[in-house]
Amino acid sequence: MITQGIQNNLIYNLYKSGCYFLSLCAIIEKVNDNPIDVLGFAQKCIDKGLITEDFYIKDAQKLLLFGFNSKHGCVVLKATDYPFAANYIIEVWYNEDTRLTHYRLQGLDTISSSNTVRNGKLKEYRAIYVA
């Protein structure tokens, strides 16, 4: 549902803090072999309580399952060591100076030149296993 001020909120918040959400959307596109309407999917996820309006992911596994339309199963695990067996790997970068976190899907960075990646440290991984 399009609401008053959506451009002030949803699109701005996607730009500001949507890197994890966009990485998960890219996985959904690859697995489903179909493009996704990111804003429409974001609104559906908000309506279902899977994300907040500022794109905080409440449960990445439930979000992926929702995006897969129950055609695939998946598991999302945090890992401090490189998860070699995962189908998809999202790097979690942290910059101590700015206190910002950036999520980067291997092979696709939603920010062309991330200050958090450039000046931060790789903190952990999100290992995504799809069946």
What is the residue-level pLDDT of the chain in tens, covering all 131 positions? Answer: 555 665 567 777 888 889 999 999 999 999 999 999 998 999 999 999 999 988 999 999 999 999 998 678 889 998 889 998 999 999 999 999 999 999 999 988 888 888 899 999 999 999 999 98
pTM of the entire predicted model: 0.88
Asked whether residue 26 is domain-assigned, the answer is yes
Find how far residue 9's CA is from the centre of its chain. Answer: 18
* 8 A C-beta contact, residue 92 and residue 122: yes
Asked whether residue 84 is domain-assigned, the answer is yes
Asked whether residue 40 is domain-assigned, the answer is yes
Asked whether residue 1 is domain-assigned, the answer is no
For residue 23, how many other CB atoms are within 10 A of its CB? 25
Q: Which residues partner with 74 through β-bridges?
A: 130
Asked whether residue 116 is domain-assigned, the answer is yes
DSSP3 helix / strand / coil % (the chain, rounded to 5): 35, 25, 35
Host domain of residue 107: 6-130
The number of distinct structural domains making up the chain is 1
